[in-house]
Amino acid sequence: MSDENEHTPQPARPTRRLDARSLRGLAHPLRMNIIELLSLDGPATATGLAERLGENTGTISWHLRHLAEHGFIEEETSRGTKRERWWRRAGVTNELNTADFRSDPDTRGALSVFLHELVQQHFSRVVNYISEDWDDRWRNAGTVSDWSDLRMTPQQLEALNAELMTVIARHIPTPDAEHAPDALPVVVQLQSFPRKQCGTA
């Protein structure tokens, strides 16, 4: 994902391709929940994260250090004190190519944990949205849609995803962009995948 304004393109974030070591460092339900909160809501302390996740501060601190060692988060030194440190998501886009790990028995388990937890996070966000009380403007603006009547080749599916990503990227504001007074954070989730037909192997 790159940060760019609809009118003024911005440099893309640095990108790193996850290797086996970094995947194992991330593939843990609690660590992925920590990353999610830091990504969605910004910097936080171990105490604040512990309260939100229902864990003790010592456990969260251990996982924060683990994530920092693998480069997923970094300390925000301008806000920290000797007693409490603030952590933020590192400014790097992480790319995961599942083909790198599916044939490796040592990382297949970590890949499974990561993917299942990721899907669970996406599911939970939708459940939260439909169960919350929103006014009609926001309820009518949001959507939970499904298209199941498409037939594509792998190349066509890849092209569709690339085009959708380009559209979304055009709407990502720059960090210093002014937001409308009634603007709220918006989550866009995209899942597109082939489905085996009944009777096929």
Taking only the tens place, the pLDDT of each residue in 75-133 is 998 887 778 899 999 999 999 998 888 888 889 999 999 999 999 999 999 999 999 99
- Cα Rg, the chain, nearest whole Å: 19
Residue 3 has pLDDT above 80, yes or no: no
Report angle CA 27, 96, 16 to the nearest 5 degrees: 105
Residue 35 has pLDDT above 90, yes or no: yes
Cα torsion 137, 141, 143, 147: sign: positive
Phi/psi for 164 (5° steps) reads -65, -40
Residue 11 has pLDDT above 80, yes or no: no
Q: pLDDT, tens digit, for every residue of 76-90?
A: 988 877 788 999 999
Residue 177 has pLDDT above 80, yes or no: no
**Token pair in block for residue 187:** 């989550």
- The Cα–Cα gap between 99 and 159 comes to 19
Between 37 and 182, the higher pLDDT residue: 37
Q: How much is the pLDDT for 136?
A: 96
Distances from the Cα of 89 to the Cα of 9, 32, 180, angstroms: 22, 12, 25
In this prediction, residue 1 has a pLDDT band, given cuts at 50, 70 and 90, of: very low
In this prediction, residue 182 has a pLDDT band, given cuts at 50, 70 and 90, of: confident
Between 31 and 172, the higher pLDDT residue: 31
Element (H, E) at 49: helix 46-53
- Domains identified in the chain and CATH numbers: 15-170 (1.10.10.10)
pTM for this prediction: 0.80
Q: How much is the pLDDT for 12?
A: 62
SS3 86: strand
Distances from the Cα of 54 to the Cα of 51, 57, 120, 145, 194, angstroms: 5, 9, 18, 32, 37
CA of residue 132 relative to chain centroid, distance: 21
Q: What is the mean pLDDT of the chain?
A: 89
Determine whether 122 is exposed, middle or buried from the number of CB atoms within 10 Å of its CB (0-12, 13-18, 19+): middle
Region 29-55: mean pLDDT is 96
Q: How much is the pLDDT for 152?
A: 96
